[in-house]
Amino acid sequence: MILPSHWFSLQAVKFSYIAMAERWISGVIEGFYGRPWTTEQRKRLFHTMQELNLNTYVYAPKDDLKHRVEWRSLYTVEESDNLQSIIEEAKRCSVDFCYALSPGYDIVYSSHEEVNLIKKKFEQVKNLGCESFSLLFDDIEESMSDSDKQKFTSFAQAQVSLTNQVYDYLGQPKFSFCPTEYCSAKSIPSLDESDYLHHIGQKLLPGIHIFWTGE
């Protein structure tokens, strides 16, 4: 489920259908661990999605090295050509291709160089025709480097600062964010009392949607 950022700023943090009335985002997230799908499998998926009236595909295979572990590296010419062909096929099937990056594995949030690397990575994919982006911070430890601790008062503040900068740099396109606390079970100490969730709900720019998986 993808929710508007202000949903998390509600005192009781309750679901609101009114908040979702703008547009239902329905589709598939390739965000699993293990062997990623092939190019042809993805293209066949888009045709199936079109038949089912699903409108969004999120590219986030955990074992694509340049999505997660080697997120700083740009795509080669061959990789770019392949990715562009996938994006173009998604468009032909009226599917919004969302490119996601998972830098939380080892990013230094306070580093201008690190932030610029994310901007360059997204810009590279944008030049391939991608119009929708996502930053994912799931399945990581809530820890910061010493330099991060000097600049930010919390893990949430570090993530929000980075995300808002990238979102603005790209011209505020379709954009989503996966929090580290992405479900009730991950919320510390609880869903209602999580300072992390309340901060991202209050401080993420309002055009950014948030992934939420429920319990």
pLDDT (tens digit per residue) in 123-165: 999 999 999 999 999 999 888 899 999 999 999 999 999 999 9
Output the pLDDT for position 141: 87
pLDDT band at 6, cuts 50/70/90? low
Question: Which position among 63, 139, 148, 192 bears the catalytic label?
Answer: 139
To the nearest 10 degrees (0 to 180), the angle between helices 155-169 and 112-126 is 40
Return d(Cα 76, Cα 93) in angstroms, integer.
26
pTM over 0.85: yes
Show the domains of the chain with their CATH numbers. 2-211 (3.20.20.80)
Mean pLDDT throughout 117-122? 98
Residue 139 is a catalytic residue: yes
Output the pLDDT for position 3: 52
**Six-digit token string for 20:** 């979702």
Output the pLDDT for position 39: 95
Beta carbons within 10 angstroms of residue 92's beta carbon: 12
Cβ 180 vs Cβ 155: under 8 Å: yes
pLDDT band at 15, cuts 50/70/90? very low
Output the pLDDT for position 5: 53
Output the pLDDT for position 10: 42
pLDDT band at 113, cuts 50/70/90? very high
**Lowest-confidence segment of 8-22, 48-62, 93-107 by average pLDDT:** 8-22
